[in-house]
Structure 1
């Protein structure tokens, strides 16, 4: 029915696909993220360092829990913030009347699976957006942890927890003749500090906290921009998106100020999280827009038939040719008649 509400559809594959395909993939991603984060299945690459290198000689800032933005706070924000935003947005979309111009665009119908399960469009959209967001959150964790394991880039406080014995390593102290580091240490046992602290100090690039914050902020900001409808103001959505960007930027500043990461680590984390969020929004959930009711993409020639056209003035009210009048109302013959000549 054109312009009406789409009729319910029957599908017996939606529940098996969700249980045996999407849930399994999400479980694999969660398991891989756990193995990279909390186990030694993938050992961190041991990268060498220069003796007395001031780049890695910053003081030890303490454990991660003592930071001004601890991991528990970051995990809570990146989980609760986008979830509440999407939940409120979908509830407002479901219970608020949609404008007439949006009816042909939505075109998403209720799916009936079996004899008991009905999946309404608001429920499907909510599960879709939150499911994709959860998948991307663990994917961002995997990318960040994989980069840290592969590169093994030291943190700014690496030498403070490594505590290398420069005398045993043959590193002469810096002098006016040799102001900079002159020997590169690649010995696996060069560090005499705590092995757990040393292993954690080798995981700096990219910054995982910055990647998670950038992913959450980018996904939420794109949702707000593409889904929310605000009438009468052009600055509400940009202000809300900029307010979302501020905490992510502050997290990166704190990580650098506390000597936990370099600026390059934070920038790489921002780019990683933003790229994953952009890919998922544009290519997986299609900018948070529903598909057409037919489920078939129109060809360019079929799409031209739906483009707005301009009717010719001569085709609006067709009249016989013999009754067309001039602007002043005088009759205008359809054919030019030749006057008769008297003979």
Structure 2
């Protein structure tokens, strides 16, 4: 009798009613927290409401971390803390080299070259990926160019802050004398009238510029060597992750070779300019290389798999290494 329900009016069976009810339920809007299997629903939830506020908060946290990482660098540059006043052994030949005003690679050229060359290449590479590789992003910023540049350039600048803060902290804490210390100080062993082999704890410099003496106490370790090695080796890592053109097999390794060669040359000029001891340069190389490796492989998304936050759309190629992107 139930099966023939409504035969006097509508003529609908129970099965027809159940079918209509199921259709109405499927057309209802998803309840809060539901509908996560729908890709459109995912994007809407991720770019609005609490998820959007959380992502904005995380961006603010990133900027705060970048500022905190650069604090030791600015403390040194603004002369807030003075370097440790270390003495020397009378007759030590390693600090008797002449002071030269000219440098093969001055500070301005180093900073401009390292940041502009690496930063411009990363910006160009990321814009190319967004334009031609169909990348997608979960960032709340809808502009893919901005979100991709934020991830890569932000990681690079964070490494710059970390590296230079470590360098300046070492310079202030150790206070090792540069090879041209006596010349910058305006004294000689004869004018000091000290006994060879004895330790001279303090010295009164006769240099007309007191800044020369302070800079002459910041030898360990080489900031030029660490900064050049970090920026150029980081760029070599970036080329390894992003340059996927197989037409010329030796193009990428040749570019990487010249980048590392330029970094090594920068450090060697600090020895020939009598600004640093060889051990200062070697330590700078090591610190810059370790920082570049750490940031490239553990902070930057460049070596993440294609299922990362910023990745090419579609199914990742199973033949790719987990340390390479699909584009």
User: What TM-score comes out, normalization by structure 1 length?
Assistant: 0.71
Please name the residue that 1:247 is paired with. 262
Q: How far off its partner does 1:227 sit?
A: 1.5
Please name the residue that 1:258 is paired with. 273
Aligned residues: 269
Q: How far off its partner does 1:290 sit?
A: 5.0
RMSD: 2.9
Distance 2:41 2:252 in 1: 31
Please name the residue that 2:122 is paired with. 86
1:206 to 211, 221, 224: 221
Distance 1:293 1:160 in 2: 55
Please name the residue that 2:57 is paired with. 16
Matched, 1:192 2:206: yes
Q: How far off its partner does 1:190 sit?
A: 3.8
Please name the residue that 1:161 is paired with. 184
Q: How far off its partner does 1:126 sit?
A: 1.6
Q: How far off its partner does 1:169 sit?
A: 5.1
C-alpha contact (below 8 Å) 1:6/1:293 kept by paired residues: no
Q: How far off its partner does 1:252 sit?
A: 1.3
C-alpha contact (below 8 Å) 1:56/1:159 kept by paired residues: yes
In structure 2, relative to structure 1, the CA distance for the partners of 1:6 and 1:228 (3 Å cut) is: farther
Please name the residue that 2:239 is paired with. 224
Q: How far off its partner does 1:232 sit?
A: 2.7
Counterpart of 2:104 in 1: which secondary structure?
coil
Matched, 1:234 2:249: yes
Distance 2:308 2:175 in 1: 50
In structure 2, relative to structure 1, the CA distance for the partners of 1:109 and 1:254 (3 Å cut) is: closer
2:152 to 129, 145, 148: 129
Counterpart of 1:118 in 2: which secondary structure?
coil
Please name the residue that 2:23 is paired with. none
In structure 2, relative to structure 1, the CA distance for the partners of 1:72 and 1:5 (3 Å cut) is: farther
Matched, 1:42 2:66: no
Distance 1:7 1:224 in 2: 33
2:92 to 43, 53, 68: 53
Deviations 1:222-268 (A, max 9, x none): 01011111123220110111121222122112111111111111111
Deviations 1:52-76 (A, max 9, x none): 32111001112xxx31211110010
Q: How far off its partner does 1:94 sit?
A: 1.9
Deviations 1:152-179 (A, max 9, x none): 111111111223475685514xxxxxxx
Please name the residue that 1:118 is paired with. 142
Distance 2:305 2:206 in 1: 58
Unaligned runs of 5+ in 1: 99-105, 173-180, 296-305, 308-343
Q: How far off its partner does 1:17 sit?
A: 1.9
C-alpha contact (below 8 Å) 2:222/2:284 kept by paired residues: yes
C-alpha contact (below 8 Å) 2:152/2:301 kept by paired residues: no
Please name the residue that 1:101 is paired with. none
Q: How far off its partner does 1:287 sit?
A: 4.3
Larger CA Rg, structure 1 vs 2: 1
Moved more, 28-37 or 271-280: 28-37
Distance 1:43 1:267 in 2: 24
